[in-house]
Structure formats: C-alpha cells, structure tokens
Structure 1
Amino acid sequence: MNQVASNPSTEATNNYTFHDRYINRELSILDFHLRVLEQAVNPAHPLLDRLTFLLIFSSNMDEFFEIRVAGVLEQLYLGNESHSPDGLTPREVLDRISETAHAAIDRQYRILNEEILPKLREENICFLKRDELTDEQLVWLKKYFQEQVAPVLTPISLDPAHPFPRLVNKSLNFIVTLEGKDAFGRQIELAVVPAPRSLPRVVRLPDELTGGHEHHVMLSAIIHEHVSDLFPGMTATGCYQFRVTRNADLALNEDVEDLAIALKGELSSRRFGRAVRLEVTENCPQHIYEYLLEEFHLEESDLYKVNGPVNLTRLISNFKRPHLRYSAHTPVIPKILKKSESIFSAMKKQDILLHHPYESFAPVINLLREAARDPKVLAIKQTLYRSGPNSEIVQVLAEAARNGKEVTAVIELRARFDEESNIAVANILQEAGAVVVYGIVGYKTHAKMILIVRREDNQLMRYVHLGTGNYHAGNARIYTDYGLLTTNKELSEDVHRVFQELTGMGKTVKLKKLLHAPFTLHQQLMNFIDHEIANAIAGKKARIIVKVNAITEQQLIDKLYEASQAGVKIDLIVRSICCLRPQLRGLSENIHVRSIVGRFLEHTRVYYFENDGNPRVYCSSADWMDRNLFSRVEACFPVEDPVLRKRIIEQGLENYLKDNQQAWELQPDGQWLSISPKEGEEVYISQQVLLEHFQ
C-alpha cells in the first residue's frame, strides 16, 4: 500500500467516492442485451441471422425481467432501500431499467417493422396482415381456424362466476370486448382467450395460394379474424393481445430430504409467480390495459405497448433460404485424433486442446463412447449442468452403466430453466444403473469434468476432460469454449479428489494444480494479481488479460484497480456484465474493457498473468462473480503445455484484442461504444479469423 500511496495519481484516486468506482450489475447486463439488439441492424450479418439476433434480444429480455427485475422488485417488497456498491437504491435501479427497457423495446419493434420485415418481403418472405389476404387465403384460414385452432381454445368470460383466470408466465392471451347476451341471457362485456402453447405462432400458407412464395400469417391475426366465432350470438367489438411476465426465480429451501422431489414441487410455481411486466399491443385501449394492470398488481411503468406480436421469441420459422444465413460451418477434428486408433492412445501421447465451435465436440462424446464399450474401463465420473434427456452424452453414460461400468453422474438439478430437463436426465441414468448425486447442498456444481478410470497392465490409468462450457452438443456449435483432454497425473488426481468431495463427505481436499471454488480459486486469483503488482513495482514484465462472461466480484475489482495504479497493463474481455469502471484517471487508467458480440456466443473463461515472461494461463468454468467464486463448485485448470498455452494466448486472447468490427469498448461513464476500423485500417473480425484458421 505504501507504493500505491506514493503514486502521483493517488490524488485523483482519492477524489472518487466509493460509489464512483462501480457500475450497477442490473444496468450492465441490460447494456449487454442492447449490444445484442444492435446486431439486428448490423449489415455484416446475413438477414435471417439479423432476425435471429432480434429474437434472441426478446428471449434475453424475458429472462431479464423474470430474474433480474423480479429480484430488484423483491427487495422493494421487503422494504430494502439500501444502496448497492454503485450507490443506487432498488427504486432508482428500477426507474433506470424502465427508462432504458422501454426505449430498447420500442427500438426493437421499429427494427422489425422498418428494416427486417421489409427486407424479408423483398425476398418473398412475407408476414401478411389481415387486410392483405386474398379471398382464397381467407377461406383457407377460416377452415384452418375451425379445424386446428378453435378446438383447443377455451374462451373465459369475466363475470362474478368466472373471475380473472390464472394465466401462465409468458403465455399469449387475448382480452376481448363483447356486446350482446350469451346462451344464459347474461350481459358479458369482457372475456379472455388464452392461446395454448401447442399452437404454432406462425402459420405458413400453402404454396398454391401464394405462387410458391413463403407467405405466413401470425396466429394472433387468425384469432383476431375469427374471434367472434368463439362467442355465438355475441359480437366481439375488440380483441387485444397481451402477455404477462412473472417472477421465475425458484425459492428453494435447501433443508430438504430429497432435492429432486422438492424441486419438482417448486417448478409449477414458476409459471405463476408474481407479475413483473405486462405487454399489450399499441391499439389496446387505455381502460383495457388499466384493467389488466390492476388485475396483475402492476404500475403503469411496468406496461410495455408494442407495435407487433407480443411474443416475438416464437416468431422464428424454418426459412429455407441458405443465402440469407451464414454459410454452414463444419467443426474440425484435431489431426492427432484422426491419426490415432483410439482417443485413449492419443491422450497418452499428449494433451489435446479443443476450441469449440471451431473444433468439434465429437471427441468428447467419442471419449465417453469408447469408455462405455471398452472392457478395460472400470469407472466413468462426470458432472452434468445442462444436458437434455435426448443428449447423446446421457445416452452413452446410460449405455456404460448397462455395460457394467461404475458410472457416477453429478447432476446440478438447479441449473436455471433446465431443472425439469435435469430431473429427466437423473431418472434416465438411475434407471440404467448409474449412481446419481446432486452435488453439495447450498452450492451449485458448475465445474465441467469427466474422469475415466481404465486398467492398463495391472495399473489404473486416469483420463480426464476439463472444460469451460456445458456438456451440451448443441451449445458447442454456437458457444465458444475450451476443453482439455489430458492424462496429466497431478491434474487427474486433483479431478479424482474433487469428485470424492462432491460425492462423499470430509474436509476440504488439498489439490496440486487445480484451483477450485469455493475454496482456493478466489484467493489464488488475488495472489496472482498481487504477484503482477509486485513485478510492476520491481520494473519486471507485468500484464493481466482476463476473458470471462462477467466481472462483478468487488474484491477482485478493487485488486485490479490496485494493479492498475501500480502500472500493470490490464485487458478485460467481458461478454456481458462488468461492474468495473475502466480508464478513470489515477484509478483504472491502465485497464481497458471490451466486449465481443458476434455470430457465436463468447463463453470461454481464460485468465492470463504475465509472470515476468513465464505466463500463467488458466481456463475455468468460473466467471469473476460472487456466485461463482463463493457459492458454486468450480474448476480452474492450468494449461501448461507450451504449444497449447501459446494457442490460447494468440487465438483466445490477443485475437479478440485486435477485433475492430464486432467489439465494443466500455467507457469510464459506463457507456459501451462500438469499435470501427480506423482510416486505412483493415477490418479484423476475431471469430472469422478463427473460422478461416481452422478451416
């Protein structure tokens, strides 16, 4: 601290209040969603991929309201008006969210209506409105409504005998104004028509009615056109879409006898949590949306009036237009795996680094498949965080158990929005004879590890896979992640001990190479930064590069500030949330923060420490967040092979620091600015460079 105090820029540091040093977490993740939205207007992306980004933004915002906004609202309901590290109260955070979110969603629908849909129409992909339909198309749609839609609709009148229905989270609904009397002579003025999720939201008209073009009609338009048919003898004078978003965060008591049974009971409550947002179409009359706000106990600031369908997330259709999408990408197989007769023999020769999605995820599945069928394999242990019941990995593990292998699966049931899927996975594996455990009560198991024990020449040999991403083949095609295949004895022994820790009981195990949360990871990261500080003060080489999805943990942020003041050059590549303020004079002027938003979702977690010319490089399942470092079981592994380490530094870090097309840079005031090539500078797209390299 004495060295820092003697720094001439300390006076500027002291001028910053405690709250000046941090960015609000909720507002930071909202900014990430805005960066995703901007991809919908980026001409560098093909048209249908721009539409996909628009729909991803919708999905992101749904989860943002279900989890983040719901969490801030809960603080208000509990009377919490304390200040977060950035100095904002929950009410102030909500006000800023409301202002930003309303503007963003208005922009989203302008992009849809003024850019995406007109350009799709130029390609003869049309979403037809009711007044555009021909007589023949109207006849076909009437039949479609009568045969496919009406039989599954349940109109609900609103009267003393029929109170307002309990509507499912994010479901599409219609509120209908009526005139006339029903079959019982009652004067009914309002009704609600829920649209079952089983109904497709987009209906393609037959080619013979469109001249072979891709013409579609929204389900909402079909219901609007025929809504009076649902109320015989009455007249529908208005029909308005609406959708309510609810708190979807599960409040699970950890003090339970069976986590799976308790979780099943909680899943149904997610569908009917406290309302946090109401979406209606722009033409919805004031007295109708005020009535809905009152029913859902919401304020007008929670109302979002949209110029289009209220459920954009389900707008996507399987358009068969390859020229409007990115060309298909085929992940490659590392040469050593192509040449080797088995993955086991290849792993014994050397460590193998997999960089998804540029390199295939198939070797991970093939490793398990070989193990399941190899008579020499005795045991397979694996963590599963997000792997669906139809996953090939799950099927292979079940096969291994049926073949008599000792299969142990550590399944994290509480992976958000995958809880039901993970329960199904647990059931499949248990029925096959595998040992299934749910990790540690109170700590989510987020580590990505496979351990295979094989008998070779009367000795036991361990084969290990460690990764930064989930064991999900679908994600591995669109998420960037690293995976390491290794037989390193010390790393393998460490993985074995962590599995013992997860499945058994006892004191914290001491590991040789692996860093793991919630025990050693945070402290060792602090130590590594301290070491860079000492090197900088001593005039030695000192630099830090961190690539993660989020940085929120306050102690690490403060330690990075300290490193900046000591002269350590720091580059942070952060996909979404960053609570650190870079480029503040005297505090963080040596820190630069950038975010890459492109074709693939950046998901790798890599930590680089210069270490005076002998770099330390770690890959990890953990972001620099409180939950990852203190409330989850995480694995962080060193990459010590000099060739592989160089690959990660060049391709996984420096490559992204050169990007001038898909990069955004965080400013001291918390704003993100898009980076463009300077005059005379060539365009550099980091993901494209990797695609070309691996092809």
Structure 2
Amino acid sequence: MNPPRKSKTQATTTRDLSDSTLYLNRELSQLEFNMRVLAQAMDPTQPLLERLKYLCISCTNLDEFFEVRVASVRTTLEYGGPLPADGLSPAHALEAIHDKAAKLVQAQYRFWNDSLRPELNAAGIRIMPREAWTARMRRWLHQFFIDEILPVLSPLGLDPSHPFPRILNKSLNVVVILEGRDAFGRSGGMAIVRAPRSLPRIVRVPKEIGGGENDFILLSAILSTFVEEMFPGMRIKGAYQFRVTRNSELFVDEEEVENLAHALKDELAGRGFRRAVRLEIAENCPTPIVRTLLQNFDLTESALYRINGPVNLNRVTAVYDMVDRPDLKFRPFVPAMPRFASETPFASLKRHDVLLHHPFESFLPVVDLIKAAAHDPEVLAIKQTLYRAGSDSPMVEHLISAARNGKDVTVVVELRARFDEEANIRLADRLQEAGVQVVYGVVGYKTHAKMLLIVRREGRKLARYVHLGTGNYNPGTAKLYTDIGLMSADPDLGNDVHLVFQQLSGLSSEVKLKRILQSPFTLHKQLLHLIQRESDAARAGRPAMIRAKMNALNEPSVIKALYEASCAGVEIDLIVRGACCLRPGVPGVSERIRVRSLVGRFLEHTRVYWFHNDGEPLLYCSSADWMERNLMRRIETCFPILAPDLAARVYEEEIGNYLEDNTQSWELQSDGSYVRISPTGDAMPHSAQRALLARICE
C-alpha cells in the first residue's frame, strides 16, 4: 500500500458546511457523467465499433435519466417535497437540466453526423441515408416495405372520431401532414404512424441488389420514404419522426397491497403510458406541429429536443453485433480462472478465503460453488439474494436442482429492481414452482445486498460458507462490470450473513453483527464514525487518510463529514464513477479532497472503502454507494476483507492502481465540471483497466 501523506497544517473554516452552495446538483452531475461517456466515443484511440457502442450507451443512459431522474424532479415540482442539499428548486433544476441535456444531445448528433458516420463509411460500414440509395436499392426497399412493413402498420388519421393515440414510451413514430380528401370525403390533416416494436430498427442491404458487406438502412428512413403507401390518393406535405419518453418509475403502496407481485404486474402493464417527460422530434418539423404534439403530451418547450438524425439513435448499437470486424473492436480476453486447491470448494475455503476481481477473473467459481452445493449430500440449506440475475442464468438452474435434491433453498428476489421487475417476477414464479422458498424482501426497503450462504453438515457440526460481493449474481454483467467478490468460511461472516437472512425472511428486531455493516442500521453510522476517527487523528497530528471508490456520492451528512475531515487535515481521495454532489477544492472547506472518475472499457461498479486507521488500515467492500437511498432506504451489506494479503491486493488493484490512471480518468473541479487527466512531464501513460487486463488475464 502507498504510505499516507503527512497532513498539512490544519485548516479552520467559519463556513456553514450545510451551505447549499457547497453541494452539486445530482441531476446535473449525472449529465456530466454522460458527457464523459460521450468523450469515450469521441476518442480516436478507441476501436471504431467500440466508439459506436459508447455513443449508443450515452443515448441509452440519457433515456434512463429522463425516465427516472427528470421524472422524479417533475413529480417533486407537482406534488412538493424537500429540496436537495444543493438547494435548487425543481423548476430551476428542470431549466438547468434542459440547458445541459440539450448541449449533450447536440454533441451526440454532431459527432454522429460529422465524425462517426463518415468514419464508419470509410471503414466499409455504411448506415445509408436516402440520398445514397441506388435506384435498384430503392426498388428493393419499396418491395420490402410493401411485403414486410406495411402489413403490420396501422396509420391513424386524426379527426373527431380518431383522437390522438396513446404513444408507447420510447417508441418510434412518424407524424405525417396530409393534403386532399380521402375515400370518405374527409379532408387531410395530420396522421400518426407508429412503428411496432416487432419491426427491426436496422435493415441490412442484400449484396444481390448492390449492397456492400456491411450496408444498413434505418427503419425510420424507410418509413419516411414510403409513407405515401399508407395514404393512397393523399398528398404528403411532410413526414417527421418523433419519440416520447415517459416516467418509468413504478408506484406501489406496499403496505396497502396483499400481494406485491400482483400489484407490480398491474403497474407494469401501464408503465409504457405513464406521464410524458421528454419529446424528441426531427429538427425540421414545423412549429405548429411541434406545438400540437407538446399539447397532446402535456409538455412545455422545456421538455422539447429537436433532433438532427434518427430520434432513436441508440438503436444503431445493433450494428455492433451485425458486423464481423474484430479489427474494429476491443481485443477479446479470457478471464483468469482461479481454481480451488482441492476436489471440493468447501475444503479449499476451509484453508483460505478466495477473492475474485471481475471481469478480469472469471465468475465461474461462484457458479461452481452453488453447483457443488446443489449436489453435495452434506449441504442442508442454500440462501441467496437475487437483484438482477439475468436471463437463462446457470445459477438459477443450480438453485432449482438444489431444491429438487431436497435442500432447503431460500431466495430473496427483489421484485422492484428498476427495469428488471418483469423478469424478476417471472424468476420468482419459476423458483416457487420448483419448490424454492421465495421471499420478496422487506416492505419499504429494496434488498440490494449481494449474499450467498451455504449451510453444510461436517461431522457433528454445521459449517457456513458465504459469498459476498459488490455486484449482481449475473454471469453476463460479470464480464462487463468491475466488481469484487469474496468467498469465505469465516465463522463470524457466516453467522452475520445468517442473521441478515433471518431478518429478510422473518420478523425480528435489529440484530447485532460482528463483521458486516448493514444498511439501513449500522453502515451509515459506522461510516460517519470512521471518517470522524480520521479527523481526530489529523487534529492530534497523526497521519490520516481516506480513500474510497464507488458509483455515486450524494448523502449530505457523509459529504459534510468529509468536509470536516478535510478541514481537520485528512487527505481524501475519492473515485466516483457517476454523480458526485461533493465540491472538491473549495478553499477552507475541501482543499484536501480530490475526486476523480474513470470511464473505460468496463463499467466501474466496485465499492471499496479504505481508512488509514492509525497505521492499521481498514478495508471494506460493499454493495452500497454513499447515497441516501443506499444508506437509508435499502438493505445493503458492507464486509471487511480480513486476510491481509487479500486486503492489500484489493487496495492495490482498486485504489492505488486507479489513482495512477492518467489516460481514462477525469478530475472533478469545484464548479462541477470535469477535466481529463493526461500524462505530464516524464510520466508514462497508465490505464488502470488495461493494467489489470495485463496483470491478471495475460
């Protein structure tokens, strides 16, 4: 581990550390993160198709931002609620969000039109605009439209008997301006064409009609070109694509429902038609038409985004999988495969803990542990939390096998995992049908902890084996997200996990845990205590340091405690991937706090907290970010890495290594902006993720 810096002369401040000007707005900070994702797309050192993927990720992230964060701000505007620590009112927040989001959207489409699309074209990957279609292609596309698209379309002319239709969240639509009279004598006006989600958004151009190896056409372009086929005898004055984004939060009063799963199913049925929060429309759409759409969606100009390109640009990500060009993608890697030292994982874990660092190390040992438990005659019980398990998870199959083999299997399925609610309801039903005891968690608290407990008879005693992690039990995302997992036979950890599962499945008062910190009970309180302890050490003239890595930071009392620690002389380094509401570098307040963010090939997902602790460092890994929801309204676990060699490894790989990154890291400024870090002087370029790939996988 790197030695701590000696504390500088202590600073004192007369400022009120609750002053709203000391806190950044969460939503604006989240948009800054999306800017950093877009910057990856603009980076010419990245493989071309990976740059396409980064662009689409920035678009998808923005969709979710409006569905969740902007929707939340609008709800507060309408129904009231406490102001955030930054003090920005909902009305002012929405104005600031629109200004920043509009700049992001302009940057996305400018990059797509002026840079990425031409570069893809030069590489032989053409997303062809209408002006590039040959006569032969146009004939083929016309027939394709007649045969494959038109039969599933239901264009709707708007008149008193055909009111404005319900438009599904994020669906592709075309508003058509018509002139003339139809067969019934009705005069032209406006019509809506909705593209069913069954239609492909990207169409490959066949080679036999002159298409290249990788030539594609967007469905939106096909619809706009052949729209007259839907309105025979009418004159088309204009056709403009649009898309509406809706509030996707689900509202279920858990205390008032008898069956949470049934209540969620009812909510899911209407999610696609909740209140609108954003309208995207072709930039050349006439203003009167835009006003009509805004009126029908009950939106104002502050929710309008004019688009110079496809309104569903994120759909272009399909090209990544449709194109076989390894030279334009990241070089594949094979995760390292830590193996148990004996014929069974249980005997190996008896000797020492096993640490897994994903995606650089395979997730398979975790799957193998559950598989072994499912078929081991000495295993009596398996308990596990599932938040986002993914489709066709082998872990689910092993849990079902365990139940059929007579094990007592209990699974806590979090039905309210955002955007995975429907999949988790299906998962819960399937597990119950197999004889698994399924628990939906605790009313009012999402179960976000990542825990696995195996109870095994060994002689006359029962032994417990656990897996604790920072990431979901999802073999798919384990290849894409950075996460830490710990497998252990430590009796104290095993008993702690056992007690937490008892809380989740039964009714009990708060339990006292020996090793694990738990939200909503002890984690927040202990974090403040550990920060305070570093402050006390600094005031006493002893070395003091805090280093932590997480996805987001917004909890006001934690931020205030960090400000106080900085004033006391504590050196603080934070690695925060996404939104961060702390202002670093404010004179007399946060001069000793440095915040950086890293955006790379893999999504940074680990949560690691390190405290100097008077030369006897404490290192924790956790499922929780330093956010209000994680610390107050979720069930989370935070577990120590007890083995000194493993703690040193986590520190080096997840803290020291990332603080040395000078190629993909960004430093947060006190005004909320980020500046990319570059090598200076004689410093060699260092990428934290690439270093881990080289060290662990190669």
TM-score normalized by structure 1?
A: 0.97
Cα distance, 1:34–1:545 mapped onto 2, change above 3 Å = same
**Which amino acid is the alignment partner of residue 232 of structure 1?**
P
Secondary structure in 1 matching 2:193: strand
Cα distance, 1:211–1:146 mapped onto 2, change above 3 Å = closer
Q: 2:432 touches 2:438 (CA, 8 Å); kept in 1?
A: yes
**Which amino acid is the alignment partner of residue 466 of structure 2?**
V
Look up the match of 1:427.
429
Task: Pick from 443, 448, 463 the counterpart of residue 446 of structure 1.
Answer: 448
CA distance in 2, matches of 1:17, 1:259: 38
Q: Does 1:342 align with 2:340?
A: no
Look up the match of 2:6.
none
Cα distance, 1:445–1:580 mapped onto 2, change above 3 Å = same
Deviations 1:328-362 (A, max 9, x none): 1211112x42x432222221221000000000011
Q: 1:361 touches 1:473 (CA, 8 Å); kept in 2?
A: yes
**Which amino acid is the alignment partner of residue 102 of structure 1?**
A
Look up the match of 2:22.
21
CA distance in 1, matches of 2:122, 2:419: 37
Secondary structure in 2 matching 1:305: strand
Look up the match of 2:326.
322
Q: 2:520 touches 2:636 (CA, 8 Å); kept in 1?
A: yes
Alpha-carbon distance, 1:15 to partner: 7.8
CA distance in 2, matches of 1:505, 1:301: 47
Q: Does 1:126 align with 2:126?
A: yes
Alpha-carbon distance, 1:197 to partner: 0.8
Look up the match of 1:175.
175
Q: 2:205 touches 2:212 (CA, 8 Å); kept in 1?
A: no
Alpha-carbon distance, 1:459 to partner: 2.1
Q: 2:204 touches 2:215 (CA, 8 Å); kept in 1?
A: yes
Deviations 1:70-101 (A, max 9, x none): 11111222256x65321321111111111111
Task: Pick from 328, 331, 337 the counterpart of residue 333 of structure 1.
Answer: 337
Q: 2:535 touches 2:570 (CA, 8 Å); kept in 1?
A: yes
**Which amino acid is the alignment partner of residue 291 of structure 2?**
E
Secondary structure in 2 matching 1:272: coil
CA distance in 2, matches of 1:345, 1:570: 40
Cα distance, 1:196–1:349 mapped onto 2, change above 3 Å = same
Deviates most, 309-318 or 466-475: 309-318
Look up the match of 2:237.
237
**Which amino acid is the alignment partner of residue 325 of structure 2?**
R
Task: Pick from 469, 483, 486 the counterpart of residue 485 of structure 2.
Answer: 483
Secondary structure in 2 matching 1:473: coil
Which structure 2 residues correspond to residues 553-632 of structure 1 after superposition, within 5 A? 553-632=555-634
Query: For structure 1, which runs of at least 5 residues remain unmatched after alignment?
Result: 1-6
Cα distance, 1:435–1:120 mapped onto 2, change above 3 Å = same
Deviations 1:135-154 (A, max 9, x none): 22112112211121111111
Q: 1:533 touches 1:566 (CA, 8 Å); kept in 2?
A: yes
CA distance in 1, matches of 2:423, 2:682: 51
CA distance in 2, matches of 1:174, 1:140: 22
CA distance in 2, matches of 1:608, 1:621: 15
Alpha-carbon distance, 1:403 to partner: 1.7
Secondary structure in 1 matching 2:551: strand
Which structure 2 residues correspond to residues 247-646 of structure 1 after superposition, within 5 A? 247-255=247-255, 256-316=257-317, 317=319, 318=321, 319-334=323-338, 336-337=339-340, 339-646=341-648
Report 1 or 2 for greater relative contact order, CA contacts < 8 Å, sequence distance ≥ 6: 2
CA distance in 2, matches of 1:252, 1:571: 39
Secondary structure in 2 matching 1:552: coil
CA distance in 1, matches of 2:497, 2:17: 44
Deviations 1:165-189 (A, max 9, x none): 0111111001111122222222131
Q: 1:243 touches 1:310 (CA, 8 Å); kept in 2?
A: yes
Alpha-carbon distance, 1:301 to partner: 2.0
Q: 1:389 touches 1:424 (CA, 8 Å); kept in 2?
A: no
Deviations 1:276-318 (A, max 9, x none): 1100111211111111111111111211111110011211222
Structural RMSD (CA): 1.4
CA distance in 2, matches of 1:552, 1:110: 32
Alpha-carbon distance, 1:454 to partner: 1.3
Deviations 1:208-248 (A, max 9, x none): 23354211111011111211111122222211100001111
Deviations 1:589-611 (A, max 9, x none): 11110001111110000000011
Q: 2:205 touches 2:211 (CA, 8 Å); kept in 1?
A: no
Look up the match of 2:187.
187
**Which amino acid is the alignment partner of residue 35 of structure 2?**
L
CA distance in 1, matches of 2:106, 2:539: 51
Secondary structure in 2 matching 1:378: strand
**Which amino acid is the alignment partner of residue 625 of structure 2?**
D
**Which amino acid is the alignment partner of residue 227 of structure 1?**
V
Q: 1:32 touches 1:576 (CA, 8 Å); kept in 2?
A: yes
Deviations 1:364-400 (A, max 9, x none): 1111111111122111100000113422211221121
CA distance in 2, matches of 1:512, 1:348: 20
**Which amino acid is the alignment partner of residue 401 of structure 1?**
A
Q: 1:379 touches 1:452 (CA, 8 Å); kept in 2?
A: yes
Deviates most, 678-687 or 167-176: 678-687
Deviations 1:35-54 (A, max 9, x none): 11111111221111111111
CA distance in 2, matches of 1:383, 1:350: 24
Secondary structure in 2 matching 1:519: coil
Secondary structure in 2 matching 1:208: helix
Alpha-carbon distance, 1:17 to partner: 7.5
**Which amino acid is the alignment partner of residue 290 of structure 2?**
Y
Q: 2:10 touches 2:567 (CA, 8 Å); kept in 1?
A: no
Q: 1:130 touches 1:221 (CA, 8 Å); kept in 2?
A: yes
Look up the match of 2:4.
none
Look up the match of 1:3.
none
Look up the match of 2:215.
215
CA distance in 2, matches of 1:514, 1:229: 65
Alpha-carbon distance, 1:419 to partner: 0.4
Look up the match of 1:163.
163
Alpha-carbon distance, 1:679 to partner: 2.9
CA distance in 1, matches of 2:147, 2:204: 16
Deviations 1:550-602 (A, max 9, x none): 11111111111111111111101001111111111111111110001111110
TM-score normalized by structure 2?
A: 0.96
Q: Does 1:141 align with 2:141?
A: yes
CA distance in 1, matches of 2:586, 2:293: 46
Q: 1:159 touches 1:188 (CA, 8 Å); kept in 2?
A: no
Secondary structure in 1 matching 2:430: helix
Query: For structure 2, which runs of at least 5 residues remain unmatched after alignment?
Result: 1-8
CA distance in 2, matches of 1:188, 1:378: 72
CA distance in 2, matches of 1:162, 1:98: 33
Deviations 1:179-210 (A, max 9, x none): 22222222131110100111111100112233
Task: Give identity over the alignment, percent.
Answer: 54
Q: 1:389 touches 1:422 (CA, 8 Å); kept in 2?
A: no
CA distance in 1, matches of 2:120, 2:294: 35
CA distance in 1, matches of 2:95, 2:648: 46
Q: 1:203 touches 1:217 (CA, 8 Å); kept in 2?
A: yes
Look up the match of 1:70.
71
